[in-house]
Amino acid sequence: MSSDFGKKLLTLRKQRNMTQDQLAKRLDIAKSTVSTYEKGAAYPSMEVLCKIGAVFDVQTDYLLGLETRNWVCVDGLNEQQVELVERLVAALKETNLP
């Protein structure tokens, strides 16, 4: 498993303005376990890894460091909304903003 797993988990959690306690409750694990994961001192089981992916709408390959691209979940959007998201992403790529 990637040594960056803990950093990715911490970043995803903070991006969602979620506390360790909130994440722990969603994953049905202890808050201290989330802390341990974020510090890189331990790694989750496959079951918990899949739950983390579902909570943050990312693929487990990304969490494991096998995939470096971020994904945007468009589940529940209609075709027109998906097209709008795609155009927005394309426009943002063209802006050269940091």
* Domain of residue 25, CATH code: 1.10.260.40
Domain assignment present for residue 51? The answer is yes
Q: In the prediction, which pLDDT does 1 show?
A: 55
pLDDT along the chain (98 residues), means of 10: 82 95 97 95 94 92 78 85 90 78
Domain assignment present for residue 70? The answer is no
Tell me the HSE value of 89 on the side-chain side, using a 13 A CA sphere. Answer: 11
Task: Tell me the pLDDT tens digit for each residue of 48-72.
Answer: 999 999 999 888 988 988 876 667 7
Q: In the prediction, which pLDDT does 97 show?
A: 65
Domain assignment present for residue 32? The answer is yes
Q: At what angle do helices 46-56 and 5-15 cross, to 10 degrees?
A: 30
Q: Is the pTM of this model over 0.95?
A: no
Domain assignment present for residue 22? The answer is yes
Domain assignment present for residue 13? The answer is yes
* Longest pairwise C-alpha distance within the chain: 44
Residue type, 8: K
- Cα 36 from Cα 30, distance rounded (Å): 10
Q: Look up residue 50 and give its two tokens.
A: 């899949």
Domain residues for the domain of 16 are: 5-63
- Which residues, 6+ apart, have CB-to-CB distance to 14 below 8 Å? none
Based on the structure, what is the number of domains in the chain? 1
